[in-house]
Amino acid sequence: FRPGHFNGVCQIVSKLFDAVQPDRAYFGEKDFQQLAIIREMVRQLKYNLEIVGCSIVREEDGLALSSRNKRLSAEERENALNISRTLFKSRNFAATHTVSETQKMVEDAIEAAPGLRMEYFEIVDGNTLQKISNWEDTSYAVGCITVFCGEVRLIDNIKYKE
């Protein structure tokens, strides 16, 4: 949804890795697509480097921690809580429903939530970022979401299988 964004990320991160030559690098799982792309870049470029995913840090009420949260009004912040709440509910829902039913449940819940506008929600293979059709398609399924709350673009994700 942001053409060229990850190309730029890879260019900058590879320059950093070339300059610093770390043994290990840590990236947050909140931006799951970026983490997966960096892991693939490291594999393709044969860096002798371990990429460590760091768990999403959440505020006490469940909202994924982000510098963008400061741009939310009190009402928008309350509305934004529907993102993580929906994702958590979807994990339980997914245990007894198909991928497409889970996808629809999340889309419907976000669409019905006040003040939120979905940019995308996809359930993907956590290694390849390819959409999956069935839970059996992968051993590592992740739901990645981007939602506008007012004018603020927020991202989050949930692991269904790992």
Do residues 17 and 86 share a domain?
no
Do residues 87 and 136 share a domain?
yes
**62 conformational bin, left if phi > 0, alpha if psi -120 to 50, beta if neither:** left
Do residues 155 and 75 share a domain?
yes
Which residue range(s) make up the domain with 27? 5-54
Do residues 49 and 82 share a domain?
no
Is residue 24 situated within a structural domain? Answer: yes
pLDDT at 1: 53
- Which of 118, 119, 114 lies closest to 79, judged by CA? 114
SS3 68: helix
pLDDT at 9: 84
β-bridge pairing 141-149 and 152-161 = antiparallel
Helix crossing, 5-20 with 32-44: angle to 10°?
50
| Structural tokens at position 8 | 């730029």
If one counts the domains in the chain, the total is 2
Please report, in tens digits, the pLDDT of each residue of the chain (162 residues total). 556 667 788 899 999 999 999 999 999 999 898 999 999 999 999 999 999 999 999 999 999 999 999 999 999 999 999 999 999 999 999 999 999 999 999 999 999 999 999 999 999 999 999 999 999 999 999 999 999 999 999 999 999 998
pTM of the entire predicted model: 0.88
**138 conformational bin, left if phi > 0, alpha if psi -120 to 50, beta if neither:** beta
The residues with which 141 forms a beta bridge, in sequence order, are: 125, 161
pLDDT at 7: 77
Separation between Cα atoms, residue 157 and residue 162, nearest integer Å = 13
**CATH number, domain at 100?**
3.30.1300.10
Do residues 16 and 91 share a domain?
no
Tokens 């594999």 — which residue?
43
